[in-house]
Amino acid sequence: PIQLQRLTTMIGTVAAAATGSAAAASRYLSSSSTGNPQLVLNEIEKSTEDRRSYRCLLLANGLRAVAISDPDADKSAATACVRTGALRDPRSLQGLAHFCEHMLFLGTARYPDENSFLRFINEHGGVRNAVTSAEFTRYYFDIAPEHLPEALDRLGQFFTEPLFTESATVREVNAVHSEHAKNIPIDARRLLRLDHHLANPQHDYSKYSTGCLETLLPDASKAAELRQRLLQFHSENYSANLTAVAVLGRESLDQLQQLIVAAFSGVANKQLPMPSWESHPYDGTDCGVEVQMVPLRDIQKLEVVFPMKDYTEQFSSQPAHYASHLLGHESAGSLLACLKRRGWANGLSAGCGGGAAGFDFFRVSADLTEAGLANRAAVLRAVFQCVGQLRRAGPQAWVHRELSDLAALAFRYRDREPSAEATQRLARRLLTYPMPQLLTADCLVTEFAPELIAEVLDQLHPHRCKVFAVSKAFEPHCPPDGCVEPIYGVRHRLQPLPPDLLAACLALYNGDAPADGADSLLSDLRLPDPNPFIPSQFALIAAPPGSPPPRVVLEEAGLRLWHRADAQYCLPKLCLTVVMATPDAWSDAFSAANSQLHCQLMSDALNPVLYDAQLAGLSASLAACAEGISLSIQGFGHRLPALLEAVLDRLSRPEVEQLRFDSVIERYRKSLKNFALEQPLQQCLFHQSVLCCSLVWTHQQRLDAIEGATPAAAAEFARCQLLPAAAGGRPRFLLAFACGNAEVEQVVAAGGGIAQTLRRHAAAADGSQGRPQPPERQPHRQRDVLLPEAGDARRHHLLRCLAAEHHKQALTKLLVQSLKERFFNSLRTQQQLGYLVQLAERPGVAACGLSFCVQSERHPAELESRIDEFVEAAGPLLAAMTPAELRDHAEALRARLLERPKRLGAACFDRPDRLAALLLPPGGTSEQSAVEAGPLRHEELLDFYRTWVAKDSLRRRKLAIHVISQKSFGPAVQEDKYEGYPGSVITDVAAFKSGLKLGPLPARF
C-alpha cells in the first residue's frame, strides 16, 4: 500500500495545482486554523450513476476522513479504521490487537458504562461490530439518522480515552478465547493457520492473530499486567496519522464535516510510521514442498501458493488481476473446464491476497474429487501448463480491453451499498489510495502494463511454490504424535516435491516439451473467447412514479407472470424469478434429494456459461425448494434474454455424462455427511426445523434416498417431476416475476418463451414410465447429536407463540428488540458463557417464537438453566422500562422493518417464500408489523410476556435443543447432567411431530 509520505505528497500536489485557478480553488480548500481540516477535497472521481456526494478531509491532526451525504439514507453509519492489526502483535502476546478491539467497546472516560455503546446503538435501531485483520482494525456502526452525532462522538472516544478496566480485561479475554474455540473446527481457518505456522518463524506473519487464553492470559493473576500491555499497545499503535474515518448520513457535506471534526480532532497524532514489511514470509527455504494436511471434514483440496510482490500501488493497471482472470477462468477451454472434463476438480480459484504492505501471495486453489486427489501431480502439472501457455502467448491487449470494459461496467452500474458496508470499504481505502481516486482505485483498469503482467507470470515459478494438499486420506501418514500445529492441533506432514515432478513443471512453465509428454495433458487448454454477455444498451424505460405494486401481465393455462417496473434504483438491470411449481419436488426425502441433485447437475453443466455471464454483470441460480424448482436471473437487461435462453436450453436436456455425474454426486454426498461438523448454531436451527416443520428431511434421509442413483435415473426424475405438463406426474404450474428496467411487452415475450421451451421438452417426455420410485428405505430414528472434534456445546432454547397475526408478530419483534442487548450483556459480557450469544425472533407460518442461543464450552444443561434465569428476570426488567425507553425501542424496530433494500435483487424477492409474501394480500409483511409496532402500549408488552414467555404461564410452549460436544463431554449423553430435568425428552421425532397441532396452510398464489 501507498506510504504516508507519498500520499501526503499527492495531496500536496493537488492542493498546489488548485491555487492555479479560481475554479480549482473552489474545490480544494485549505485552512491552518486549529480544529479545522488542513485540506478539503470536494471533487472525487465517481460513477455518473452515484447519487451520493463525497468530500475527503485531512484534519489538522493528520487523520483522514470522507464525508458521504445521502439524503435518502435509511441508516446513518460510520467506520473508523486504524492501520494496525495482528501483524503488530508482540510475539509474547499474540492476539493483542484483536483483544484491544474487543476492549475498546467496554467503556471510555466519557462513557464509562461497559455496555453503553452497545445499548445506545441497539436502542436506536443500529448494529455495531469490529474486525481485526493482519494490517487493519475497523470499528463500525449504523444507526437511525437522527442519532448519528452522539454515536459518532462515542466512537471517537475509542481513540482518545479508553478505560481498559482490569475487571473487563479478565472477563473479555474469555470472549476472545470463546471466539478462538469457535474457529477451531473450521477447516479453512485450520489451513490458514497452518500456512502461518509454516512460514518464516521470525516474520510477523507466523504469529497467531485471534489470540486465546494461552497466548494472552495463561495466568489469571497477571490481569493487571495485561491491562498495562493493552494501554501500551493502544498508545504505540493508535495514532491520528494512521487512522481514517468514513461517515455517511443524511446531513449536508458541511454538516458531516463539522461532526467529523468535532468527534475526531482530539485524536493524538503521534507521527507513527506507516507499517510495512520488507521481507516475505516465504524466504525461499520453505518452498518446493508439499504440505499434506488432515482436515476435519471430508474434503479434498489442492492449493498452490507463490510468494508475490505487493502491487497495490499499481492499481491503475492491476497486473496480478490479469493473471488471476485467465488462470481462474471457468469457461470452455479453461484450466477448470479441462480438469472437470477429466473428473478431477469441481471448482477452482486464482488470485492475490492474504499479504500486507510490502508482500503478497498468489494462490491457485482447486476443489478436487477423489480421482483428482489421486492425480494431484497431474493437476499440478496442469497449473504450470496453463502458466506456461500464458507466458508464451504474452500479455494480450484484447484481454486487457475486455477487463477494462467489465470493470467500467461494474463500477458505473454498481448497486448502492448499505450505509455500513460503504463506510467500511471507504475507510480502509483512505489508508491505501490517493484521495481523488478513493472510489475508482483498483475498481477501474485504465492502464495496460504488459511488462508488469509478464513480471507477475514470471513469479509463478515451480521452484517458488508451496503446495498444500488437504484430505482425510492423509490421516494414516499424519499420526497425532507427528507434526501437529500447536494452536489448532492441525495434523500434517511436509514432503519435498519429487525432482521429476518439479522438472516436468519447469518444462511446462518454460514452454519446453517434457520427456514424458505432459505438455499434452490438457490439449484442449486455451485462452477464453471474447465474453458474449457484455451489454451495450443501457437506456432506461419510462417507469411510473413511486413504487407501484406488481401486476399480472400474462395469465394462461399453467402460467402466471407478474411485472413491476423499477422507479427506485434507476439502473439498466432486470431481475427475473421463475418458480416451476410442482408438488412432487419436495413431497418426500427421495424427491427432495433428487430435486437438489438435479439442480446441482444443471448448475455444473451451465457453469462455463454462467461464469462468462457473471463477469459481465449477470447471474443465475437454480434451487430446489418446497414449492418446486426456482430459477433466478438478474443483471443487465440487454443480455439477460440471451442468458435465459442458454439456461432454459440446458434445462430442457437433463442428461449428463457419467464422469460429471460421479463428481457432482460425490460432492453432494460429502456435503450431506459434512453437515455433522457444521457450527453448533447451524445444527440447532436445522434440528429445530426437523422438529417443528413438515417437509423437512434429515441429511441421512437424503443420503439414503440417492443411494444407487444413476445419470439415467436422475434425468428421468427431472423429466417426469420437475418440468411443467410432464406426463406421468401431477400438474405443474409456472410462476414468474419480473422487476426492473423492462417494458411489459418484453416481459410478456420472455414469459411466453419460458413456457414454450419447457413445454416443448415436456412433450418429448410423453413416453415416460411415470414417477420414478424411491428405493426401499430404512425407518428414521432419532440420534443424539454429537460433534466429534468440536470443543463447543450449543444450547438452543425456543419459546413459541401460537398465533401469527400482525399484532402478535409486532409484539414478538418488540420483545426481542427490548431484551436482546440485555441478554447479550448478561450472558456474554458479564457471565462470559460464550462468544455466540443471540436472542432473535423465529418466524413461522402459523406461529412465531423467541430463540435464545448460546454456544459455549459449558454443558447445555447449565446453559439452559442460565437462559431460564434470564427469562425469569426479564419480567421485572420489562416492568421497569420507562415510556421513553419503550418509545426508543419501538422507533428502532420500525426503522429496521421499514429499511428499504439497497439492491434491486434484494427488492425482487428471489426466493419463492418472499415472492409469495410480495404477491399475496398483507399477511406477515415487515411493513404491516412496523405499522403495528408504533402504537403498542407498555401494558400490552408486559401482558404478552406474561402470557407467552413467563415461566409460570400455562400457555408457554418451550423447546430446548442441546448440541453436545463429544470432545468435552464424552461419546454418550451424561445422564447425571439431566437429573431432575423438568421437561420431557424427545426420543421419537415422528411420534413427537404427530402429536403437534397443524397450523393453517400458507395461502397459495
Q: Which residues does the annotation mark as catalytic?
A: 101
- Following DSSP, what letter does each residue of 737-777 receive, concatenated? EEEES--HHHHHHHHHHHHHHHHHHHHTTTT--SSPPPPP-
Q: CA separation (Å) from 703 to 116, 448, 666, 989?
A: 49, 51, 11, 18
- Following DSSP, what letter does each residue of 461-497 receive, concatenated? -GGG-EEEEE-GGGGGGS-TTSEE-TTT--EEEEEEP
Owner of C-alpha cell 426503522: 895
Residue whose C-alpha is closest to residue 315's, from 432, 427, 430: 432
CA atoms of 851 and 835, how far apart (whole Å)? 17
* Cell triple for 828: 456474554
Q: What share of the chain is helix, strand, coil (3-state, %, to 5)?
A: 45, 15, 40
CA atoms of 204 and 494, how far apart (whole Å)? 22
Strands (E), 775-869: 786-787, 793-801, 836-842, 848-856
Residue whose C-alpha is closest to residue 167's, from 96, 244, 248, 113: 113
Give 274's contacts (C-beta < 8 A, 6+ positions apart). Answer: 1, 3, 4, 83, 242, 357
Q: CA separation (Å) from 647 to 177, 606, 631?
A: 47, 7, 9
Q: CA separation (Å) from 778 to 589, 703, 786, 955, 989?
A: 12, 11, 21, 37, 15
Sign of the dihedral through C-alpha 182, 188, 194, 199: negative
Amino acid at residue number 95: G
Cα 957–Cα 959–Cα 961 angle in degrees, nearest 5: 170
Residue whose C-alpha is closest to residue 409's, from 452, 448, 443, 451: 443
- Following DSSP, what letter does each residue of 648-684 receive, concatenated? HHHHT-----HHHHHHHHHHHHHHHHHGGGS-HHHHH
Sign of the dihedral through C-alpha 144, 149, 155, 157: negative
* Cell triple for 175: 470472549
User: Could you tell me the end-to-end alpha-carbon distance of the chain, in angstroms, rounded to an integer?
Assistant: 54
CA atoms of 598 and 654, how far apart (whole Å)? 8
Helix (H, G, I), strand (E, B) or coil at 561: strand
Q: CA separation (Å) from 110 to 104, 162, 323, 598?
A: 13, 9, 51, 59
Sign of the dihedral through C-alpha 62, 63, 64, 67: negative
